[in-house]
Amino acid sequence: MTSKLLLPFAAIAVLSIGAAIAAPVNYTLPEETAAFKPGPNLEVVQSNCTGCHSADYIKTQPQGEKFKKDFWQAEVTKMIKVYGAPIDQADVGKIVEYLSATY
């Protein structure tokens, strides 16, 4: 009976020691090279999007008239449904409007 318990207890002890001496990981993020353009609903975009994205990232998305509103609507919907972005439904239209008009 004691030999059956010895292996699990040894494994727990080894894992506990490893976790205790593990160093935290720190990342240094690069400087922003782009900024959000001024416009209506900028504050809504900043408060909802910048937790995960930089202005640089948003600027790299496809641009042009054929993308505009439908593209940004699909992107915001994807962020909510696929990635779990905590965006209030009341803010979705404001975000799409800003991105469509600005990018």
Domains and CATH numbers, the chain: 42-102 (1.10.760.10)
Identify whether the C-beta of residue 67 lies closer than 8 Å to the C-beta of residue 14: no
- State residue 87's pLDDT score: 96
CA distance 82 to 69: 19
Q: Is the full-model pTM beyond 0.85?
A: no
CA distance 51 to 25: 19
- State residue 60's pLDDT score: 85
pLDDT confidence bin for 81, thresholds 50/70/90: very high
> Each residue of 12-51: pLDDT tens digit?
766 667 666 767 778 787 787 888 889 999 999 999 998 8
* Residue 59 CB partners (closer than 8 Å, separation 6+): 34, 103
- State residue 14's pLDDT score: 67
> Each residue of 85-96: pLDDT tens digit?
999 999 999 999
